[in-house]
Amino acid sequence: MSKDSKIYIAGHRGMVGSAVWRALELKGYKNLIGKTSKELDLRNQQAVIDFVSAEKPDIIIDAAAKVGGILANNENPYPFLMENLQIQNNLIDAAYKENTAKFIFLGSSCIYPKFAPQPLKEEYLLTDSLEPTNEWYAIAKIAGVKACEAIRKQFGKDFVSLMPTNLYGPNDNFDLKSSHVLPAMMRKFHEAKATSAPVELWGSGAPMREFLHVDDLAQAVVYAVEHKLPEHLYNVGTGTDVTIKELAETIQDIVGHKGDIVWDSTKPDGTPRKLMDSSKLQNEGWKAKVMLEMGIERTYDWFLKHIDTIKEVKLK
């Protein structure tokens, strides 16, 4: 692909899409396309077909999705299943029908079984049952992976799926009702910082999680843009994990909160551990570079700079 290749980034204003946009611009790609949800409703099949037919992008990067944490997934199973199916199926099918040269599908580590062996390998997909609290989102993403695999297998097209571990970074969602664990903790500790009030967190703190800075994922996407990867599915992670308790203490220290942490063990922990084996992509030439503490510091700096303006914060 040349630097003049036309690249459409679906979800270009989200955390992942905006990071991918920044990374491609820094590499010299100038022909980038983005549409807001008001300009293009990705749930509308005909609208997506018409858009792809008119623009004829060389590459489509699907960073668009309805996402959220345990609470949001638990309370909204139907939209997490149906809207994600609609978004990705419309994009994948339009890319196939319009003969798009390359399609990069972004998913999540939640596609793997709840009790799969650790670290998670790509071949563990569909070998056991999913984590019940987010199976709706996971099933949608699995369908996207299999659709890209099917097109690749039947028609030989360069459709590839990248499955990142837990992401964080600039443009994250800090709304406590729908955010993931790291930004939710950051907001809670920040709000309690002034009074040193105790911070209540869900679960026991024992589960282990792997966290990837979104800029590292963006570099993986750039790598997939610039190389034809030999397989259809790749994990994208750091290869190291921490307990939720360790994560909380790290964020607490960086934010400067001096109060107590109270763990509500009546709330669900989710999957006991989710560490990904990213050796396949690493062997191709990509590797994560942003260490967790540094990444959290960068994210908190961004949070403070945008505290009055970012969409979901709405601090008291």
Q: How far apart are CA 49 and CA 35, in angstroms?
A: 14
pLDDT at residue 311 in the model: 52
In tens, the pLDDT along 71-90 reads 777 888 999 999 999 999 99
- Please indicate, yes or no, whether the overall pTM of this predicted structure exceeds 0.95: no
The answer to the question of residue 73 being in a domain is yes
Give percent above pLDDT 90 in the chain.
85
What's the mean pLDDT in 23-51?
A: 97
pLDDT in tens, 224-277: 999 999 999 999 999 999 999 999 999 999 999 999 999 999 998 877 888 999
User: Is 167 annotated to bind ligand?
Assistant: yes
> Residue 285's pLDDT is what?
96
Q: Flag whether 316 is in a domain.
A: no
CATH number of the CATH domain containing 113? 3.40.50.720
Q: Is 124 a catalytic residue?
A: no
Domain assignment of residue 202, yes or no: yes
Residue 310 lies in a domain: no
132 known member of a binding site: no
Please say if the pLDDT value at position 43 is more than 80. yes
pLDDT at residue 286 is higher than 60: yes
pLDDT, average across residues 175-192: 90
Residue 83 covered by a domain? yes
pLDDT at 310: 60
74 annotated ligand-binding residue: no
Give me the mean pLDDT over the 44-62 stretch: 98
- Identify the band that residue 316 occupies on the pLDDT scale cut at 50, 70 and 90: very low
User: Would residue 311 count as lying in a domain?
Assistant: no
Q: Which of 137, 168, 223, 234 is catalytic?
A: 137
Cα 275 to Cα 211: distance, rounded to the nearest angstrom: 9
pLDDT surpasses 70 at 99: yes
Report yes or no on 1 lying in a domain: no
Q: Are 95 and 147 in contact (CB under 8 A)?
A: no
Residue whose entry in the numeric block shows the structure tokens 């203490």: 249
Q: Is 12 annotated as a binding residue?
A: yes
Question: How many structural domains does the chain have?
Answer: 1
SS3 per-residue string spanning the chain:
CCCCCCEEEECCCCHHHHHHHHHHHHCCCCCEECCCCCCCCCCCHHHHHHHHHHHCCCEEEECCCCCCCHHHHHHCHHHHHHHHHHHHHHHHHHHHHCCCCEEEEECCHHHCCCCCCCCECHHHCCCCCCCHHHHHHHHHHHHHHHHHHHHHHHHCCEEEEEEECEEECCCCCCCCCCCCHHHHHHHHHHHHHCCCCCEEEECCCCCEECEEEHHHHHHHHHHHHHCCCCCCEEEECCCCCEEHHHHHHHHHHHHCCCCCEEEECCCCCCCCEECECCHHHHHHCCCCCCCHHHHHHHHHHHHHHCCCCCCCCCCC
306 is in an annotated binding site: no
Q: Is residue 214 part of a domain?
A: yes
The answer to the question of whether 295 is labelled as a binding residue is no
227 is in an annotated binding site: no
Question: Would the annotation count 11 as a binding residue?
Answer: yes
User: Is there a binding annotation on residue 202?
Assistant: yes
Q: Which domain holds residue 123?
A: 7-305
Decide which of 299 and 271 is more confident.
299
> Is 222 annotated as a binding-site member?
no
